[in-house]
Amino acid sequence: MDKNIQNFRAIDLNIDISKLPTPIYIVDERLIEKNLRVLKEVMDRTGCRILLAQKAFSMFSLYSLIGRYLSGTAASSLFEARLGFEEMKGKEVHIYSPAYREEEFDEIVRICDFIIFNSFSQWNKYKHRIKASGKRIECGLRINPEYSEIETEIYNPCSKGSRLGITPENFREDDLEGIDGLHFHTMCEQNSDVLKRTIEVVDRKFGKYIKRMKWINFGGGHHITRPGYDMDTLIECIMYIKNKYDVEVYLEPGEAIALNAGYLAARVLDFVKNNIDIAILDTSAACHMPDVIEMPYRPKIVGAGEPGQYPYTYRLGGLTCLAGDVIGDYSFKEPLKEGDILIFTDMAIYTMVKNNTFNGVNLPAIAVYNEKDGLKIIKKFEYEDFKERLS
């Protein structure tokens, strides 16, 4: 049986699906904690520090739980940094941005413990403001080893012409005073064999600089909590760098924290036919699961199969006027009916953080499930949430 179906059925025992408002995200706190235990094991075995990359999962109602296991948060903007600072109190706050806005930088200095720069020009522009603050802040530089095994170009930070990180050709050894660490991010949903090959390149191209550092950050994209992940190779990579250079090692996965821990429930609203049977849902790929279009990928649905696998095949479409607002083609054992609820799996990551209200389509409600409280809806969105984003 598909593990996602097993996970959902575990919570389904205590949830009357028919009574749920839809669309709605359901995050299973037990599965989040299961992932966190795996990450804590990595920390315990290696002494490394692991951060929550908020760009993938920013459900701050669970930050107190996440903070019991991880070292802190990684941010890509002032607002993300502030969220980590306010909601995961007492933990490290790291930030990296391709460029910082001058009017925001003093606030960044106030709330962040680690600031990573994308270029020497940004470092030289802001290092005096950091020093003048009187606050002890660890400063780093993002490097680009010009090596990545990511096949989807939009996600490849090491593609030719990438704006992300300093290449070996542009690295300035004489401008490292005040720099405490180096950061690279080259992976996306990959296993540790990719990290091992990446480490070999980073070591060869930047090793002479790493030996001058206090820490190195391996970035994100590590699918540590997925079934079949090679934990031993990850441990080997961490310990190799720690032992060779006597540096602290950081990782900042996002997906690994909430992988396979969330669902999106949506209702069937209507049917149309145009060479294929089409079901219109009260959700939207464009608004509620944008990676379906951007990545692209086809999310799994509990009880559904590939087109033609079961007797009844449908194309599932969203609510917006975008012609491409299509989730995918799926087959079912029984014909769908108006009012049926479909459960999309692995919907905690890169959904809530990327949602939009195109066409005025409302955002899904957000719920959490745990053994103590059962299902609890923690957020519903209204017209004002749409309106207040506009002018």
- Residue 194 sits in a domain whose CATH number is 3.20.20.10
- Provide the pLDDT for residue 164: 97
Interstrand relation of 248-251 and 262-273 (parallel, antiparallel or unpaired): unpaired
70 and 178 assigned to the same domain: yes
Q: Which two tokens stand for residue 26?
A: 């359901």
With a cut of 50, list the residues of the chain below it in pLDDT: 1-13
| Residue 74 placed within a domain | yes
22 and 98 assigned to the same domain: no
| Residue 136 placed within a domain | yes
117 and 239 assigned to the same domain: yes
CA distance 73 to 355: 21
- Provide the pLDDT for residue 18: 79
Q: Please identify, among 224, 258, 292, the residue that sits at the C-terminal boundary of a domain.
A: 258
- Provide the pLDDT for residue 17: 74
Q: Please identify, among 258, 285, 307, the residue that sits at the C-terminal boundary of a domain.
A: 258
CA distance 10 to 64: 24
Count of structural domains, the chain: 2
pLDDT tens-digit series, residues 47-101:
999 999 999 999 999 999 999 999 999 999 999 999 999 999 999 999 999 999 9
SS3 at position 118: coil
- The answer to whether residues 146 and 171 touch, using CB atoms and an 8 Å cutoff, is no
15 and 148 assigned to the same domain: no
Cα-based angle 112, 164, 102 (whole degrees, multiple of 5)? 45
- Provide the pLDDT for residue 181: 98
Range of the domain at 207: 47-258
193 and 318 assigned to the same domain: no
Cα-based angle 7, 12, 15 (whole degrees, multiple of 5)? 145
- Provide the pLDDT for residue 8: 44
Sort 177 into a burial class: Cβ within 10 Å, 0-12 / 13-18 / 19+.
Answer: exposed
84 and 182 assigned to the same domain: yes
Q: Which amino acid is at 346?
A: D
CA distance 266 to 22: 5
CA distance 23 to 356: 14
CA distance 74 to 250: 10
- The answer to whether residues 262 and 231 touch, using CB atoms and an 8 Å cutoff, is no
CA distance 391 to 389: 7
Interstrand relation of 341-345 and 365-370 (parallel, antiparallel or unpaired): unpaired
Q: Domain containing 296 — which CATH number? A: 2.40.37.10
226 and 355 assigned to the same domain: no
Per this entry, what is the length of the chain? 391
CA distance 17 to 19: 5
